[in-house]
Chain A
Amino acid sequence: MTTYYSEEHEWISIEGETGTIGITEYAQNALGDIVFIEVPEVGNNYDKGDEIAVVESVKAASEIYTPVGGEVVAINENLESDPALVNAHPETDGWFYKISISDKGELDDLMDAAAYKAHIDGLE
């Protein structure tokens, strides 16, 4: 399983034609205590870069833009009752949605783990 990262601090892990998407440890730390997450509806289609989810922390609302386009095939229903799951396990149990990737070429714009680490090191 390969995982890619966006400059906006999303991760996407690829299994066949499906990508699982969430936010990174860096992002959850910057957002602080998460109190609400609005995830997309299963069956909806999005283009790369579309606003697809919203994360509300005690501080502010932040939009999530999908790093690849496609059809949403699953959402993490645990986030509705336990949004703090994203603070605790952002890159595993705190995933947001799964998407059937329409064009795997879009993954080329993303970073691998090493490049992402260099990216966030540059922000600090």
Chain B
Amino acid sequence: MSADTSNPLNTGDLLKTPLFALHEELGGKMVSFAGYALPVQYPLGVMGEHNHTRNAAGLFDVSHMGQVIITGPNADGWMENLVPGNIKDLAVNHIRYSMFTNDRGGIMDDLMITKRENDLFLVVNAACKTQDIAHMKAHLPEGFTLTEITDRALIALQGPKAAEVLSRFASGADQMDFMTYAEVTICGAECYISRSGYTGEDGHEISIPAHKAEEVCRALLAEEEVEAIGLGARDSLRLEAGLCLYGHDLTTETTPVEASLLWAISKRRREEGGFPGDHIILPQIKNKDYAKKRVGILPAGRAPAREGTVIVDAEGHEIGTITSGGFGPTFGGPVAMGYLKPQFAAIDTEVFLIVRGKSRPARVAKMPFIPQHYYRKT
């Protein structure tokens, strides 16, 4: 057996989240992720944790992600200088998924933007947060402030029972619409909650003052529907839901058009432009002219196709690459996503995956691979 799964992690050099001690107490198998010591799984195991999240409620520590507050006059309009999303027309206490683009139209990071009463609250990826903050500071006008929140944990409570569980602590949490925000008190702690997540399930993300994070998590875990979930299941859940992982499915070499994230660029922004790389991205939209496109891939048979797997056509010519792939426990078989030349990107196109030197059939498939269960009032 070749996988190095035997050596316990030396967590000494890694950053720790406010929940580190709790992870260890719960038997979390700690790994290094974006410079942080985080649990890849607990004793329940990746498959069990995945299924539990789909069937009940899972608690995830995502405190490694960056939490940033921007204040300034018309901060929403300023934000549009850096992202292609419609932020100006976002209602107060509503959330939008968007991405920082560079001058070549490449994606520097993807993020969540919440418009609050007096500021913008951003959640960015851990591996990108230093770069994102520097990027925003470099463009920050006079009279604006940027504050990285370092004294708050961030957790996600996800699954069909998640909202019901949270509403026991924060009355009305289960009535919030998908992609909306509220400030509530949980166990005496002032928390920011949003009806969002990255599993394809209903649920919330919860920003908690660091010194209260363990107490809040213990209270949530004491509810019978809730189990702690590690990074392993977080990855299989988001992959089945067709959601991108930055650094893998999205990079500076992919534009939002190529990444099939057109839905995140509103009509007004397509007409007006005014974001980095618009001179690349807008013609790609208008002329449908780009080199590759992100699609779902379903391998035939049982063998998973992992990241980096080469995709070829029937004649064996290289036509793309898998960027995320594994086994989907809820789907019940291997699932993947990757980039293909646009002429091969139509649903049901037959392609071949080179796995360990053998060509294996697969087909282009619609994502998500499982039905999404977001809570929408309308």
Contacts and interface: CB of A to CB of B under 8 A. Distances in A.
Contact of B304 (A10, A32, A35): A35
A59 B307 CA distance: 12
Given A33-B45, A54-B356, A59-B46, A38 B1 contact: no
Interface in A51-69: 54-65
B269 interface: no
B286 interface: no
Contacts of B5: 30-31
A60 B303 contact: no
A38 B303 CA distance: 8
Contacts of B7: 123
B6 A65 contact: no
Interface in A69-93: 80, 83
Contacts of A80: 302
B46 A36 contact: no
Interface in B16-71: 40-41, 45-48, 50
Nearest to A123: B6
A65 B1 CA distance: 7
Interface in B288-344: 302-304, 306, 326-327, 329, 334
Contact of A32 (B6, B47, B303, B356): B47
B2 interface: yes
B14 to A, nearest CB: 19
B232 interface: yes
A59 B45 CA distance: 10
26 contacts: A8-B2, A9-B1, A27-B1, A30-B1, A30-B3, A30-B5, A31-B3, A31-B5, A32-B45, A32-B47, A33-B48, A54-B356, A56-B327, A58-B46, A58-B47, A58-B326, A58-B327, A59-B40, A60-B3, A60-B306, A61-B304, A64-B1, A64-B2, A65-B2, A123-B6, A123-B7
Interface of B: 1-3, 5-7, 40-41, 45-48, 50, 232, 236, 302-304, 306, 326-327, 329, 334, 356
Interface of A: 8-10, 23, 27, 30-33, 35-36, 38, 54-65, 80, 83, 123
